[in-house]
Structure 1
Amino acid sequence: MPRNTASAARDTRDTHTSANVPASGLGDAEAHRGPTGDPLLAAKFAIPAVPRTLVRRQRLLDRLTTGTAGPLTLITGPAGAGKTTLAASWVAEGTAPGPVVWLTAEHEDKAPGVFWAYVLEALHHHRIDLPEDPDRPGSADFVEHSLLTRLASGLARRHRPVVFVLDGLDQVPVREVTSALDFVLTHAGQSLRLVVISRVDPLLPLHRYRAQGRICEVRSADLAFTRREATTLLRGHGLESCEESADTLTTRTGGWAAGLRLCALEMQRTDDPNGFARSFAASQSAVADYLLAEVLDTQPETTRDLLMRSSILDRVHPDLANTLTEREDAEWILAGLTRAGAFVESVAGTRWCRFQPLFAEVLRTHLRHHHPGLEPRLRRLAAAWLADHGRLTEALEQAAATADWEWATARMVDDLEIGRLLTGPEAYRLASCFTGMPRDLPGTAPALVAGACAAARYDLAGCRAQLDRAEEHIRTAQAQPSPETQLALSLLRLLSSPGGGDRDRDAVREADRTLDLAGRVPRSRRAEHPEIEALRRYGLARGLLLTGRLGAARTAFAAAADGRTDATDVVRHLSLGQLALLESLRGELNEAEKHARLALATARCRSVPPARRSGIGHLALATVALERGDLRDALHHLDLGSECPDAEHDPVTCTEMLVARAHLNRAQGRGRAALAALEDRPPALPPWPAQRIALADSAIHVARGDPTAAISALHEAGPDASAHVIALARAHLASGDPDRALGLLPAPGDHRDAGITQRVAVLLIRAHAALLAKDTESAHSTLGRALAVARPETLRRPFLEAGPWVRHLLELGPDAAQRHAWLASASAPLVVEQLSVRERQVLEHCAQVMSTEEIAAAMCLSVNTVKTHLRSIYRKLVVSRRGEAVRRARELGLL
C-alpha cells in the first residue's frame, strides 16, 4: 500500500494541510511542473512542525550539529522511530551551519527526472541562489549529466554551505538516483551537507564514506528513548504521577518513539494509567493499528504469512521459519525485513533474527484472529525443530505454551537433561517451563521432572514423594524402564536423601548404583552431560556429610568441585563451600578461606543463578573469622549467608548458621542469647547436624559454669566420636574431675590424624589438667605444643575461650608478650570468661567516669573489693586499663 503524503513526510508529527498547492502559489497555469507535466507539490518542501509534546533530546541534537560539519549525515530507523521529528526539531534549534532545504521523497518520485526536478524546486522554494541555475529535467526517465555537473558546480561556488534534508530516500530505491546524488555530494565540496532520513540504508556507497570518516550515522538504537526521556514524554502528556511506569514502557516498546507516544495518549484516557502501563495487552492494542498500517499491511502476502507464523518465537532462524511456513524463502524475506527496519533485527554474528516485542504481540493476535487453531500446531513444530537442533530450553518453552507436558517431560528424561534443572546457566529458565504442569500428572517422566523441580526449590520431601509416584508408575507399567529413566530416578534419590542413615538409601550404595546406570548410557551421550557425574559426586558427598563420615565427605566434595564447565558451576560452587566449611571446622583456616572465596567467585563470575547460590561459602568465612577472633568479619559473613536461598532449607547450612551465631553470642559474653540461638534448630535433623548442635550446646554450658548441663547435652555420642569425646572430657574437667577427663582422651600420639582444632583442644585439656595437678612445667610445655600447632593457621579461639589460666601460664615464660602477640592481634578479641553481675555493675559505673571511691560508695562496697572486681574485668576482657575495658565492653555489646 503506497504511503500518502502525510505518512511519507513524517513518523510521528503534525500533518501539513497544503499537499496540493503548487510551488509558485499562483495556480496551475504558472506553477513549476515536473517532466511529466504534473505540478510539483509544495508540501514536499515544508519543514514539518514540531509537536507540542516534543521531548528535547540534546544528545541527538548535538550529534546532528557535529555530523553536519561533514558531507553526509544518515538517520535510519523503523517507522515511528522519531527520525523526522528529530531532524525537524534540530532545524528549529537553528544550529545548522547554513540555510536548510527540506524535501520529502515518495514512492512516485523514483523516476530520476521527477526526483531531480523536486531537488531543484526544493532549492528554489527555500530561496537558494546558485551562480548558474541548472535547467530542469526534460524527461522523467533520465537526467543529463550536464545538469548534475552544473548543480554541483553552482553549489561548490557558494560562500555558505547548504544543508539539504532528504526525508524518505528509502522510497526511491533507484541506483541511477543514488549514484547521481553521490556525484553531486562529492563534487559540491564543503558547500553541500546532506542529511538523509530513511528506514533502510540507502544505495549510497556508505562503506567509502565510513572509510574516509565523512559520515555521521544515527541508528535505531540511538533513536530509542532512554528511561529518562520516556519519563519526560509522560510528563509532557500530563502523566507526572506515572513516572514509575517509564521503565516498564521503555522495556516493552524497546524505546520506540511512536509506541511510547501512543501509549501515553491512551494512558491520558484511562482511569488507571499505571495499570495500563503494566498491561502488555493494553499497550499492544494502543499501537496495533499503527503497526498493522505502517508495517504489516505494506508487506506482500508471503511476508505477512512468515511474520505471523514466526511470531510465536522470541527469536527465529531462517531454517525454522521455513519449517513453519513450509517454504524455502525465509532467509531472503528476513534479510529484506531487517534491511527495511520493519521491526525485525538480526542477532549479531548469527543467522537468527528477533522481533520487537510489541510487534510480535500484534502479529500473534493477528495470527489467532485469521488462523484460529494454527498456533498450537506451529508451536509443536517449533519445539521439535529446536530440540533437534540443541536448543531444548526454547523447545520446552514452546511445549509449555501448548501444555504438551508428555512430550516435554519425555524429552527431559530421554535426553538426559534432568540434571540441568539443578545446575547450569539455564536451570531457573528450565524449571520455569514446568511451573504450570499439574503435580499429579500421570506417568513416570512427569513425576521425575516434578521431583527435580521440587529439589531445585529445596523441597526434598516433595521430591521424594514424586519419586515414589514414579516408582509406582514403573511397577504399574510392568515393563523394564529405559536406562535414562532409571538413571534419573537413582540420581534424584541420591540428591534428595534425608541423610537419616536408612540403609536402603545409603549414599554410597545409591551413588554406586547411579554410576552403574550411567555406564549403560552411550559414552558419547554421557560426555554431553558432565553435570550428571558432578551431581552424583555431590550427592555422595552430601550423604556422607549428613551421616558424619567427614573424611570421606571431604574427599568427595573435592572431587565434585573438580568440574569447570557452565553445566557444573552450581555443583562446583556448592562443593567448594562445603569443602571450606569442613576445613574451617578442622582448623585448616588458610585452605578454608581460599576455597570459600573461590566458591563465592564461582557464583559471581560464572553460571550460577541467584536462586541456586548457597550461603555455605559465607558461613565458612564466618567460621574462619570466629576461629581467628574477628567478630566483625564473622557477623558480616553470617548476615550475607543468611540472605541466601538455602539458609532456611539445607540442614547443614541452617545448623551451622545457628552454631556460628551461638558461638558469636558466647564470644560477646551473652550466654543466654547463645543458648537461645540453638533452640531454633530444625526438627528431625540428620545425625551429624544434630551432633553439631549438641556440641555447641555443651560448650556454652561449660562457659557459663554449668558442667552438669554440658554433660547432659552430650547424652548421645553422635557420628563424630572424637568430637564427642573431647567435648565430654572438657565438661568433666570443668566439673572438677580431671582424672576422668584425661581417661577419656586418646593417648598422646593417637590423634595425629585429627584436625588441628581437635588436636589443640586435646592439648589444652591436658595442659589445664597438669596445671590443676600443680605440674606447672608439664602444663607450660603442653600449652606450648598447642600454640605451635595453632599458630600457622592463626587459630585463636580455643586459647581465648579456655579461661584465664592460659594467660597466667603464658606470663610465666620469658618474652611471652613478644612470642605470643599473635593471640591478641584480632580486630575484636574474644572474652575469655563471662562477666559476673557485680562486674557488669562496676563496668557500668566506669562508663559513667566515676572514680573507684565513688563506685564503692554507690554500690556499698569497700574500695578494695571494687579494685578486685576491676582486676577481674581487665583479665576477662584482655585489657589493662579502665578506658580500654569500657571501649571493649561497648564493642562486645556488654554496655
Structure 2
Amino acid sequence: MLIDRHDLVALLDRATGKRVTVVSAPAGSGKTSLLRAWAGRPGQDRAIAFVTVPPDQHDAQMFWLAVLAAVREALSEGHGKGRGEGLSAGLGAGLDADPPPAAPGSGGSVLVDAVLSELRAGGRRFVLVIDDLHELNSAEAVDGLRSLLSRLPPDAHVVVAGRRDPPLRLHRTRLDGELAEIRLAQLRFTEAESRELVAAAGLSLPDRVVAVLHERTEGWAAGLRLAVLSLAGHPDPERFAAEFSGSDRTVAEYLLAEMLERQPPGVQRLLLRTSLMDRVNGELADLLTGATGSERILLELEDSAAFVVSLDPERTLFRYHRLFGDLLRLELRRTQPGEIPALHRIAARWSAAHARPADAVRHLQAAGDWPDAARLLCDRALGLTLDGRAGTVTALLRAFPPGADEESPELALVNTIAELNESRPVEAAAHLEVGRSLAAARPPEHRNRLALTIASLDLLLARMRGDLDGIREQVGALPPVLSVPSNADVALGSDLRALALLNLGVAEAWSLRPDDGERHLTEGAALARDIGRPYLEVACLAHRGFTALSRSPALARRRCEEAIALASRHGWDAEPVIAPALATLAATFVWTGEPGPAREWLDRAGRVVSPGSEPGVRLLFHLVTGMFHAARGDHGRALEEYGSAASVQEVMAGEHALANLVTGLTAAAHVRLGRTDRARAMLDALDDERAGTPEIRNARALVRLADHAPEAARRELEPVLDGTAPSRLRLTSVEAHLLDALACEALGHHHTARKAVETALDLAEPDRLILPFTLTGARRLLEAIPLHETAHATLIADILDIPRAVPAAGSPEPGPGLSPSELRVLRFLPTNLTRLEIAGELSVSLNTVNTHIRRIYAKLGATDRSAAVRRGRELRLLSAGRS
C-alpha cells in the first residue's frame, strides 16, 4: 500500500547534494518506506547501498562488515542494479545466512578505512543508507560512523535514519551547511496523500471523511495505514473516522482487537504466537502454532498489506511491522500469559538447531530457564567471539540476574572468554578459577563438558600471559580435547580442539621446538579449515611461518606469504591475527639484507601490534625492528627496540625462546657503541645456564675481541663451533664462524680465518643470510677473497654490493639520496655490462636504465660512468676496488 510521495522524494534528492542526511522520527512515521521508495526508483545515476541495523546490535565489527559488504555489492552491480529489495544488506537478514568473515577483537577503525577505500575507488556518485540506527548499541561502532562521516570523499553521501537523533556530533557538519534533516513534520501525510492512500487501498470515501481521518491521525503514517485497513468493509466509515484517534494508545486499544477479530482463529493464533520472534519463516511458525501451512498464511497476510513484510526475494522469511509486533505481543501477554515460556522454549530449540545461538540464549532467558541459558551460552560463547560477536556475548551476560555468575561455572567461564577478548588476563584468571571450583561440584555429565572448556581456556590464558612453561605443563589436560572426534553433542568440541592445537603449537614455536610446533599448527589449520573457522586457520598459519625460521628463512618467507594471502582474502591483512607472519616475514628480509621490503613489512606489523597483543608477538616485533636498525648501523635505535623486547620478556610468565638472542644483541649493540663495560657487566650477571647458550657466547666473544683478547674470544666460541652448544638459528651459527674468523685474523692465522669465512658462507648460501656479515664487520675479510677461489662468488658480490651501514643516529646520511632503483643500477656501473645488458639483468626497459643513469650522474655530480663509480666508492655506496 505504497503511494508516490513526490515532494518527499524530491526533498531527499536535494538532500543528497550535501554530505549527510538525518531522517529522525518516531516509529510508524514512514521513514523506511520513504527511503526504499527513493532508493528503488529506476534509472538512478548513483550507486546505493542500503543497510538495516537489526534489533539491539551490540557488535561493532558485525555492523561494519555488513556496511562494507553492502558498499562492495552496490559498487560491483553497476548502474540500474542493487535497487529495491536487492540493494539491502541488512545485518542478519537471513535465518540461515552464513555470517560474514570476522576477526575477534578486530579494530573497527580498520573496517571504517576499508569502507572509505571502497568509496574512494568507486569512481561514481554513491549513497550509503543506514536505517534503524537507533538499534546500534555499540559506542565503538558509533565512533567509527563519526569518523566515516568526517572523511567522506566528495562524491559520497550518507543517509542515517532512526527513531531519535543519532549521537554523531553533527553540529560542525550543520554549521558547514553539509547536513540535511528530515523530521516528523516533513514525514506527516498531507490531506491529499491521505486521499491517495485510501484510494490505493480500494476504498471510496467522501473527501470530508478522509479530511476527518487525516485530522484525527495528524498525518501519522502508521495510524493512517491501520485506520485504512480497519475501514475496509466497515459499516459506518464516517463514525469510525470521527471516533478514531491517531495516538499510539488508541491504536493499540482500538485497532488491534478489530484487526484480530476479523481474522480466522488459525490466523489469530499464528499472529500472536509468532509475535515473539523478530523474524519468522513457515517452518518455525508451524512449530509455534502446532499447525501446518503457516508460510501460505504469511504470504497471504503480506499480500493483503496486514503489516507483514517479507525479507528475502524468495519470500520465505518475514517480520511484522514493529508497531504491529509490539501490539501483538501485548495482546499475547494479556490473553495467553501461561503459553509464553513454552513458546520461548520452542523458539530456543529451533534457533539453536539453525545456528542462531544468540537468539536461542535470549529465548531461554525470556522463558526463565537460566541454567539452560547459561549452559548454552557457555557452549557457544567462544564460537560467537570467533565470529566477531563479543559484544553480543557481553550483552547476553548482562541479561542474567545479578549474582548469577557467582553460582554458575558456565557464566564464570563465559566471563573468562569476555575478559580474554578484552586482553585482561588478570581478570580472566580470576573468573577461570571461580569456574574451575564451581565445576568440581557439578554432576559428571556436566563436569566433563566443562572440563573441555576449562582445558582450552587454561591454554589460551597461558599463551596470553606468555606462560610458555604453563602451556607445556598442561599438556596432560589436552588429550581429551585433541582426541575426541568432532561431535555436535560435545560442547564446542571442534572449536576447542582447533584452539588447543593453536595454543600448543604457539608455545612450542616460541620455545624453539619447531618440529612439534609445526605439526600442531598444521593440524590446527587443517581442522579449522574443515570446520569453517577461517580465523583460527589464519592464526595457525601465521604462527607456522615462525616455526620454519630456524630451518630455512626462505621457507619461512613462503609460509608467511601464504598466511598473509589467506588473511587478505578475508579482509584481515591489517588485523592482529596476522601479526606473527608480518613480523616473521620482515625478519627474513632483514636477514637477507633487503631493507626496502623489510621496512615495508615492519611498518605493516607495527600497525597491528599493540600493547594488548600477545607477549610473544610483541617480543618478536621489537627484536626484528632492532635488528633492522642495527643492520643500518643505527645501534642507538636498535638498543631502544631491544629494550622494549626485554621489557616484554620481564612480564612474561615463561622465557621466550628468543630471549637469549635479545640479550646477546643488546650486549653487541653496546659494544658497537663503545660501551664495552656495560656489555661485559650485563653478560657477567647471567646465570651459568644462560651464559652457556650460543647467543650469549657470541656476545661474549665480541666483548673479548673489543678487549683485544682474540684467544679468549675463540675459547668462548668453541662450544658453538664444535656443536656442544648448538644453535637452533643458522643466523647465530654464521655469526659464530665470522667472529672466529675475525679472532683468527687478529692472531695472524690467515689460513684458519679463511676457512672460518668459507664455513660461514657455506651456512649462509642456501638462504642468502647477509645480516651476520653486516653486523660483524666481516666485509674486509670478504674483500680479500679472490672470487675465482671461492664457491660463493655470487653471495660475496651481493654482500659487498650492499651499501655500508649508515652512521649512528644523529650523524648525516651518506650519499646524495639515491632511490632504491637508482642504487640497484649504480651497483652495475663498475661492471663491463652494457646498458642493455643491465636492463636485462634488472628486468626493466632500456629507457628506464637510461633515466636512472641520468639521475645518478646528476645526484653524484658525475659526467660519465667512471666518475659515477669513483664518487659512489667515496660515499661507500660501492665496495672499494670490486668489479
Q: In which range does the TM-score fall when normalised by the shorter chain?
A: 0.5 to 0.7
Task: Report matched runs for 1:179-578 at 5 Å.
Answer: 220-221=84-85, 247-249=158-160, 264-266=182-184, 288-289=222-223, 292=226, 301=263, 306=270, 310=274, 312-337=276-301, 344-345=309-310, 347=312, 352-355=316-319, 360-372=321-333, 378-396=343-361, 398-399=363-364, 406-413=371-378, 416-417=379-380, 419-421=382-384, 423=386, 433-434=396-397, 440-475=405-440, 482-497=447-462, 506-516=470-480, 525=489, 529-546=493-510, 549=513, 552-563=516-527, 564-578=529-543
Contact 2:572 2:578 (C-alpha < 8 Å) held by counterparts: no
Q: Distance in 1 between matches of 2:329 and 2:277?
A: 14
* Segment of structure 1 superposing worse, 477-486 or 288-297: 288-297
| Cα drift, residue 395 of structure 1 | 1.9
CA gap of 1:885–1:371, structure 2 versus 1, over 3 A, is farther
Contact 1:423 1:569 (C-alpha < 8 Å) held by counterparts: no
Contact 2:629 2:635 (C-alpha < 8 Å) held by counterparts: yes
What's the counterpart of residue 702 of structure 1? 671
The letter of the residue matching 1:684 is V
| Cα drift, residue 798 of structure 1 | 1.0
What's the counterpart of residue 593 of structure 1? 557
**Runs of 5+ in structure 2 lacking a partner?**
17-31, 44-79, 90-123, 132-148, 165-179, 189-218, 231-254, 819-867, 879-883
Contact 1:658 1:678 (C-alpha < 8 Å) held by counterparts: yes
Please point out which of 732, 735, 738 is paired with 2:707: 735
**Per the alignment, in what secondary structure is the counterpart of residue 736 of structure 1?**
coil
**Per the alignment, in what secondary structure is the counterpart of residue 648 of structure 1?**
coil
| Cα drift, residue 492 of structure 1 | 1.0
**Per the alignment, in what secondary structure is the counterpart of residue 344 of structure 1?**
strand
Contact 1:615 1:647 (C-alpha < 8 Å) held by counterparts: no
Deviations 1:634-673 (A, max 9, x none): 2222222233266632001111121122222323333222
Contact 2:664 2:698 (C-alpha < 8 Å) held by counterparts: no
Instruction: Tell me if 1:793 matches 2:771.
Output: no
CA gap of 1:673–1:607, structure 2 versus 1, over 3 A, is closer
Q: Distance in 2 between matches of 1:610 and 1:400?
A: 37
CA gap of 1:320–1:831, structure 2 versus 1, over 3 A, is farther
Aligned identity (percent) is 19
Deviations 1:769-801 (A, max 9, x none): 221221222222321222232222122111112
The letter of the residue matching 2:85 is A
What's the counterpart of residue 754 of structure 2? 780
Q: Distance in 2 between matches of 1:242 and 1:786?
A: 56
Instruction: Tell me if 1:813 matches 2:774.
Output: no
Paired positions, count:
631
Q: Distance in 2 between matches of 1:286 and 1:243?
A: 36
CA gap of 1:340–1:658, structure 2 versus 1, over 3 A, is farther
| Cα drift, residue 621 of structure 1 | 1.3
Task: Report matched runs for 1:686-697 at 5 Å.
Answer: 686-688=654-656, 690-697=659-666
Q: Distance in 2 between matches of 1:618 and 1:324?
A: 51
CA gap of 1:768–1:442, structure 2 versus 1, over 3 A, is same
| Cα drift, residue 498 of structure 1 | 5.7
Q: Distance in 2 between matches of 1:703 and 1:486?
A: 53
| Cα drift, residue 555 of structure 1 | 4.0
CA gap of 1:735–1:268, structure 2 versus 1, over 3 A, is farther
What's the counterpart of residue 592 of structure 2? 628
Q: Distance in 2 between matches of 1:599 and 1:294?
A: 60
**Per the alignment, in what secondary structure is the counterpart of residue 705 of structure 1?**
coil
RMSD, aligned α-carbons: 5.1
Q: Distance in 1 between matches of 2:500 and 2:691?
A: 23
| Cα drift, residue 623 of structure 1 | 0.9
Task: Report matched runs for 1:717-736 at 5 Å.
Answer: 717-718=689-690, 721-736=693-708
CA gap of 1:789–1:601, structure 2 versus 1, over 3 A, is same
**Runs of 5+ in structure 1 lacking a partner?**
1-6, 15-49, 59-77, 91-215, 234-240, 254-261, 271-284, 848-878, 890-895
TM-score in terms of structure 2 length:
0.60
CA gap of 1:287–1:514, structure 2 versus 1, over 3 A, is farther
What's the counterpart of residue 12 of structure 1? 5
| Cα drift, residue 593 of structure 1 | 1.2
Task: Report matched runs for 1:875-886 at 5 Å.
Answer: 882=871
What's the counterpart of residue 682 of structure 2? 713
Please point out which of 717, 721, 744 is paired with 1:770: 744
Deviations 1:842-879 (A, max 9, x none): 969999xxxxxxxxxxxxxxxxxxxxxxxxxxxxxxx9
| Cα drift, residue 619 of structure 1 | 0.9
Contact 1:587 1:795 (C-alpha < 8 Å) held by counterparts: no
Contact 1:483 1:520 (C-alpha < 8 Å) held by counterparts: no
Q: Distance in 1 between matches of 2:572 and 2:871?
A: 51
**Per the alignment, in what secondary structure is the counterpart of residue 787 of structure 1?**
helix
| Cα drift, residue 488 of structure 1 | 1.1
What's the counterpart of residue 734 of structure 2? 760
| Cα drift, residue 338 of structure 1 | 5.6
Deviations 1:187-220 (A, max 9, x none): xxxxxxxxxxxxxxxxxxxxxxxxxxxxx99984
Contact 1:345 1:354 (C-alpha < 8 Å) held by counterparts: yes
Q: Distance in 2 between matches of 1:267 and 1:818?
A: 86
CA gap of 1:638–1:789, structure 2 versus 1, over 3 A, is same
Instruction: Tell me if 1:684 matches 2:684.
Output: no
Contact 2:623 2:642 (C-alpha < 8 Å) held by counterparts: yes
CA gap of 1:294–1:846, structure 2 versus 1, over 3 A, is closer
| Cα drift, residue 747 of structure 1 | 6.3
Q: Distance in 1 between matches of 2:276 and 2:157?
A: 27
What's the counterpart of residue 104 of structure 2? none
CA gap of 1:309–1:267, structure 2 versus 1, over 3 A, is farther
| Bigger Rg over Cα | 1
**Per the alignment, in what secondary structure is the counterpart of residue 335 of structure 1?**
helix
Q: Distance in 1 between matches of 2:671 and 2:356?
A: 60
Contact 1:11 1:81 (C-alpha < 8 Å) held by counterparts: no
Q: Distance in 1 between matches of 2:344 and 2:512?
A: 50
Q: Distance in 1 between matches of 2:368 and 2:668?
A: 56
CA gap of 1:598–1:694, structure 2 versus 1, over 3 A, is same
Q: Distance in 2 between matches of 1:482 and 1:633?
A: 51
* Segment of structure 1 superposing worse, 685-694 or 827-836: 827-836
| Cα drift, residue 572 of structure 1 | 2.5
Q: Distance in 1 between matches of 2:88 and 2:494?
A: 42
Q: Distance in 2 between matches of 1:354 and 1:595?
A: 46
**Per the alignment, in what secondary structure is the counterpart of residue 795 of structure 1?**
coil
Q: Distance in 2 between matches of 1:309 and 1:611?
A: 44
Contact 1:396 1:433 (C-alpha < 8 Å) held by counterparts: yes
**Per the alignment, in what secondary structure is the counterpart of residue 310 of structure 2?**
strand
CA gap of 1:614–1:313, structure 2 versus 1, over 3 A, is farther
| Cα drift, residue 311 of structure 1 | 5.3
CA gap of 1:640–1:800, structure 2 versus 1, over 3 A, is same
CA gap of 1:512–1:51, structure 2 versus 1, over 3 A, is closer
| Cα drift, residue 464 of structure 1 | 1.6
| Cα drift, residue 486 of structure 1 | 1.3
CA gap of 1:711–1:667, structure 2 versus 1, over 3 A, is same
